[in-house]
Protein backbone atom coordinates (compact mmCIF):
# COMPACT_ATOMS: atom_id res chain seq x y z
CA UNK A 1 0.00 0.00 0.00
CA UNK A 2 1.27 3.44 -0.98
CA UNK A 3 -0.62 6.32 0.71
CA UNK A 4 -2.16 8.62 -1.88
CA UNK A 5 -4.19 11.70 -0.90
CA UNK A 6 -7.25 12.91 -2.70
CA UNK A 7 -6.96 16.03 -4.79
CA UNK A 8 -10.51 17.31 -4.16
CA UNK A 9 -11.43 17.15 -0.47
CA UNK A 10 -14.43 19.47 -0.52
CA UNK A 11 -17.36 17.66 -2.13
CA UNK A 12 -19.61 20.43 -3.46
CA UNK A 13 -21.09 19.30 -6.79
CA UNK A 14 -23.25 22.42 -7.15
CA UNK A 15 -20.04 24.45 -7.44
CA UNK A 16 -18.22 21.90 -9.58
CA UNK A 17 -16.15 20.28 -6.81
CA UNK A 18 -16.47 16.50 -6.69
CA UNK A 19 -14.49 14.67 -4.03
CA UNK A 20 -12.19 11.83 -5.08
CA UNK A 21 -11.65 9.81 -1.89
CA UNK A 22 -12.51 6.49 -3.57
CA UNK A 23 -10.08 7.27 -6.39
CA UNK A 24 -7.30 8.01 -3.87
CA UNK A 25 -8.10 4.90 -1.80
CA UNK A 26 -7.96 2.81 -4.99
CA UNK A 27 -4.63 4.35 -6.01
CA UNK A 28 -3.29 3.70 -2.51
CA UNK A 29 -4.27 0.02 -2.46
CA UNK A 30 -3.00 -0.60 -6.00
CA UNK A 31 0.14 1.51 -5.41
CA UNK A 32 -0.63 3.73 -8.38
CA UNK A 33 -0.42 7.47 -8.89
CA UNK A 34 -3.69 9.36 -8.47
CA UNK A 35 -3.80 10.28 -12.16
CA UNK A 36 -3.62 6.61 -13.17
CA UNK A 37 -7.04 5.98 -11.59
CA UNK A 38 -10.17 7.55 -13.09
CA UNK A 39 -12.06 10.11 -11.05
CA UNK A 40 -15.10 7.81 -10.90
CA UNK A 41 -17.34 10.28 -9.06
CA UNK A 42 -16.68 13.02 -11.61
CA UNK A 43 -17.36 10.60 -14.48
CA UNK A 44 -20.75 9.72 -12.99
CA UNK A 45 -21.87 13.14 -11.74
CA UNK A 46 -24.55 14.21 -11.26
CA UNK A 47 -26.21 10.78 -11.58
CA UNK A 48 -24.31 8.52 -9.18
CA UNK A 49 -26.63 5.59 -9.88
CA UNK A 50 -24.03 4.11 -12.24
CA UNK A 51 -21.01 4.72 -9.98
CA UNK A 52 -20.33 1.10 -8.98
CA UNK A 53 -20.89 -0.16 -12.52
CA UNK A 54 -18.27 2.29 -13.84
CA UNK A 55 -15.91 1.33 -11.00
CA UNK A 56 -16.22 -2.38 -11.70
CA UNK A 57 -15.81 -1.89 -15.46
CA UNK A 58 -12.46 -0.24 -14.74
CA UNK A 59 -11.40 -2.94 -12.25
CA UNK A 60 -12.47 -5.59 -14.76
CA UNK A 61 -10.23 -4.01 -17.40
CA UNK A 62 -7.37 -4.57 -14.92
CA UNK A 63 -8.35 -8.22 -14.25
CA UNK A 64 -10.01 -7.46 -10.89
CA UNK A 65 -13.43 -7.15 -9.34
CA UNK A 66 -14.54 -5.21 -6.27
CA UNK A 67 -16.59 -7.12 -3.69
CA UNK A 68 -18.33 -5.80 -0.59
CA UNK A 69 -19.05 -7.09 2.87
CA UNK A 70 -20.54 -5.63 6.01
CA UNK A 71 -18.71 -5.65 9.32
CA UNK A 72 -19.38 -8.93 11.12
CA UNK A 73 -20.34 -7.14 14.33
CA UNK A 74 -20.73 -3.56 15.50
CA UNK A 75 -17.31 -1.99 15.71
CA UNK A 76 -16.19 -3.10 12.29
CA UNK A 77 -14.66 -6.56 12.69
CA UNK A 78 -13.39 -8.01 9.42
CA UNK A 79 -14.07 -11.46 7.98
CA UNK A 80 -11.07 -13.68 8.69
CA UNK A 81 -10.39 -14.24 4.98
CA UNK A 82 -9.39 -10.56 4.63
CA UNK A 83 -6.89 -10.53 7.49
CA UNK A 84 -3.41 -9.67 6.28
CA UNK A 85 -4.66 -7.75 3.25
CA UNK A 86 -5.27 -4.11 2.43
CA UNK A 87 -8.92 -3.35 1.73
CA UNK A 88 -11.38 -0.49 1.40
CA UNK A 89 -13.18 0.85 4.46
CA UNK A 90 -16.46 2.67 3.88
CA UNK A 91 -18.14 5.05 6.27
CA UNK A 92 -19.49 8.57 6.56
CA UNK A 93 -17.99 11.94 7.37
CA UNK A 94 -19.37 15.46 7.62
CA UNK A 95 -18.72 17.64 4.58
CA UNK A 96 -20.22 21.11 4.26
CA UNK A 97 -22.60 20.25 7.11
CA UNK A 98 -23.92 17.14 5.35
CA UNK A 99 -23.32 13.48 5.98
CA UNK A 100 -21.36 12.10 3.02
CA UNK A 101 -19.96 8.70 2.07
CA UNK A 102 -16.22 8.33 2.51
CA UNK A 103 -13.66 5.71 1.37
CA UNK A 104 -10.48 4.90 3.27
CA UNK A 105 -7.83 2.17 3.28
CA UNK A 106 -7.79 -0.53 5.93
CA UNK A 107 -5.59 -3.41 6.98
CA UNK A 108 -6.90 -6.15 9.25
CA UNK A 109 -10.16 -4.21 9.68
CA UNK A 110 -8.46 -1.05 10.96
CA UNK A 111 -8.14 2.23 9.06
CA UNK A 112 -4.49 2.72 8.11
CA UNK A 113 -4.87 5.56 5.62
CA UNK A 114 -7.44 8.31 5.18
CA UNK A 115 -7.07 9.91 1.74
CA UNK A 116 -8.52 13.14 3.15
CA UNK A 117 -6.36 14.63 5.87
CA UNK A 118 -8.64 17.67 6.30
CA UNK A 119 -11.77 16.11 7.83
CA UNK A 120 -12.50 14.49 11.18
CA UNK A 121 -12.74 10.72 11.41
CA UNK A 122 -15.76 8.63 10.42
CA UNK A 123 -18.82 9.77 12.34
CA UNK A 124 -20.66 6.42 12.44
CA UNK A 125 -17.67 4.09 12.53
CA UNK A 126 -17.02 1.49 9.86
CA UNK A 127 -20.11 0.81 7.77
CA UNK A 128 -18.61 -1.67 5.31
CA UNK A 129 -15.55 -3.13 3.64
CA UNK A 130 -14.54 -3.59 0.03
CA UNK A 131 -11.93 -5.96 -1.27
CA UNK A 132 -10.46 -6.91 -4.61
CA UNK A 133 -10.41 -10.35 -6.19
CA UNK A 134 -8.84 -11.53 -9.43
CA UNK A 135 -10.80 -13.16 -12.26
CA UNK A 136 -10.54 -16.53 -10.48
CA UNK A 137 -11.93 -15.13 -7.23
CA UNK A 138 -8.58 -15.07 -5.38
CA UNK A 139 -8.14 -12.24 -2.91
CA UNK A 140 -5.78 -9.40 -3.83
CA UNK A 141 -4.21 -6.71 -1.69
19-33, 64-78, 87-101, 109-123, range with the lowest pLDDT: 64-78
Average pLDDT for residues 83-103, to the nearest whole number?
A: 82
Q: Report strand pairing: 128-134 vs 98-107.
A: unpaired
Q: Structure pTM?
A: 0.89
Tell me the C-alpha distance between 105 and 129, whole Å.
9
Mean pLDDT of the chain: 85
Higher pLDDT, 100 or 40: 40
Give how far Cα 33 sits from Cα of 109, 115, 131, 132, Å: 24, 13, 19, 18
Q: pLDDT higher for 112 or 92? A: 112
Please give the average per-residue pLDDT across 17-22, as a whole number. Answer: 88
Over residues 3-11, the mean pLDDT reads: 89
CA-CA distance, 29 to 113, in Å (whole number)?
Answer: 10
Label residue 78 by pLDDT band (50, 70, 90).
low
Q: Say what the pLDDT of residue 141 is.
A: 75
Sheet holding 86-95, edge to edge: 64-69, 128-134, 86-95, 98-107, 110-113
| pLDDT bucket at 124, cuts 50 / 70 / 90 | confident
Amino acid sequence: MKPVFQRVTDHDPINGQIGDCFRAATASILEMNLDEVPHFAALCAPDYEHFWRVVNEWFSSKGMHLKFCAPLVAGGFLPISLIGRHHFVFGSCINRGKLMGHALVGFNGVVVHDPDHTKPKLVNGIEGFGYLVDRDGRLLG
